[in-house]
């Protein structure tokens, strides 16, 4: 099925400690998968859209799990098996309000992505190519691959979506800023947090307007519990966040992006896209894990229509 989402990047195994406190005292762990791009692909698929993920994993049990999970979610997974290991992230809640994430991904299979890994036909037939600022931080070849895919999308007239998604544990702001700015200038749709916008642009001014000045026609500023603001085809929007009980904030931004892009692919207008994005992000934080809490359409309907906390 053509016209869906195509994305590429690294998906890792995710080890999450149970409870709250120092990792050395944790006695229970859950194991799953996580990665910004695959989270968005799963999120779009759960909302009824077509999604393709492209990436490398190791010839190991974690790589097997990633491939099975993606395909089980209805994502078209172009999985390249690599001789290196599948990356890993370890997550624990140091205090009730502080979530700590460590990465073990230097030299991983996912960091060895190369332009030849991206099928030209998949990009040409896409409705949206979605990339993030994470993948360019992984290696020189991964960065080259992201820009190669973006240029292929441009040549085919395919919309390019970029989530700035700056990760300070992967590269410095000094190294990241010019690359992320270059990526933003090549996109039609851009997502960023206020701090990420400042990283790309420097301080001052309205972040949505300033990012739009680099070329994108749709700029969405994700602002957590404050909701979001956007400048879409010259029209300003602001949507408040929904009040929910936060269990795990990781993955909320990816759920937000998936909600917006799923509705965009379905032909919904800007207000509907932003409403779905806000609801998807709110639903995701009520469940532990990177992708486990990504909602379906019925989930969103339940969230928006709930009057009590009992479903009968």
Residues shown for the chain: 312
Rank 23-32, 258-267, 303-312 by mean pLDDT and report only the highest: 258-267
Q: Give dist(CA 154, CA 286) in Å, integer.
A: 37
pLDDT at 307: 46
Question: Is the per-residue pLDDT at 287 higher than 80?
Answer: no
Least-confidence region, from 98-112, 146-160, 242-256: 242-256
Pick from 233, 236, 230, 226: nearest CA to 257 = 230
The CATH number assigned to the domain with range 5-305 reads 3.40.1190.20
Average pLDDT over residues 246-261: 87
Which residues lie closer than 8 Å to 35 by C-beta, 6 or more apart? Answer: 9, 10, 11, 12, 55, 110, 290
For position 100, what pLDDT does the model report?
85
Average pLDDT over residues 5-32: 91
The catalytic residue among 82, 117, 248, 254 is 254
User: Is-catalytic flag, 254?
Assistant: yes
Structure confidence at residue 1 (pLDDT) = 39
Q: Decide if 168 contacts 174 (C-beta within 8 A).
A: no
Mean pLDDT, rounded, of the chain: 93
pLDDT at 284 over 60: yes
34 vs 98, residue with greater confidence: 34
Report the pLDDT value the prediction gives residue 312, as an integer from 0 to 100: 39
Does residue 101 or residue 230 have the better pLDDT? 230
pLDDT given at position 20: 85
Has residue 18 got a pLDDT over 90?
Answer: no
**pLDDT-above-90 percentage for the chain:** 79
Confidence at residue 289, expressed as pLDDT on a 0 to 100 scale: 67
pTM, rounded to two decimals? 0.93
∠ CA 147-67-288 to the nearest 5 degrees?
90
Q: Cβ distance 299 to 307 under 8 Å?
A: no
Write down the pLDDT at residue 150. 98
158: confidence class by pLDDT, cuts 50, 70, 90: very high
**CA-CA distance, 95 to 157, in Å (whole number)?**
47
Tell me what the mean pLDDT of segment 290-302 comes to: 89
Instruction: Judge contact between 280 and 294, C-beta under 8 A.
Output: yes
Give the model's pLDDT for residue 104: 93
Tens of pLDDT, residues 72-126: 999 999 999 999 999 999 988 888 778 888 999 999 999 999 999 999 999 999 9
pLDDT at 219 over 70: yes
pLDDT at 311 over 70: no
pLDDT for residue 130 is more than 90: yes
CA gap 300, 282 in Å, rounded? 9
């Amino acid at each position: 099925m053509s016209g869906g989402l195509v994305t590429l990047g690294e998906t890792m195994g995710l080890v999450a400690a149970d409870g709250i406190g120092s990792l050395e005292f944790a006695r229970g762990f859950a194991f799953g998968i996580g990665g910004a791009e695959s989270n968005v692909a799963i999120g779009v698929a759960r909302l009824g859209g077509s999604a393709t993920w492209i990436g490398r994993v190791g010839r190991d049990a974690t790589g097997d799990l990633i491939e099975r999970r993606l395909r089980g979610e209805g994502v078209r997974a172009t999985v390249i098996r690599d001789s290196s290991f599948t990356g890993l992230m370890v997550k624990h809640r140091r205090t009730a309000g502080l979530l700590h994430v460590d990465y073990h991904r230097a030299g991983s299979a996912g960091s060895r992505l190369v332009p030849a890994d991206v099928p030209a036909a998949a990009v040409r037939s896409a409705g949206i190519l979605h990339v993030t600022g994470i993948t360019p931080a992984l290696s020189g070849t991964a960065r080259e691959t992201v820009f190669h895919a973006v240029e292929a999308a441009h040549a085919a007239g395919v919309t390019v979506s970029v989530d700035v998604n700056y990760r300070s544990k992967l590269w410095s702001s000094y190294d990241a800023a010019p690359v992320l700015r270059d990526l933003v200038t090549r996109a039609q749709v851009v997502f960023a947090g206020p701090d990420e916008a400042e990283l790309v642009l420097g301080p001052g001014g309205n972040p949505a307007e300033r990012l739009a000045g680099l070329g994108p026609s749709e700029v969405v500023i994700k602002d957590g519990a404050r909701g979001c603001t956007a400048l879409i085809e010259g029209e300003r929007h602001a949507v408040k966040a929904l009040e929910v009980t936060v269990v795990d904030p990781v993955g909320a931004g990816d759920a937000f992006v998936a909600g917006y892009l799923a509705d965009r692919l379905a032909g919904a207008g800007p207000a509907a896209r932003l409403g779905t994005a806000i609801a998807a992000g709110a639903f995701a934080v009520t469940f532990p894990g990177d992708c486990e809490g990504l909602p379906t359409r019925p989930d969103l309907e339940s969230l928006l229509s709930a009057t009590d906390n009992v479903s009968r």
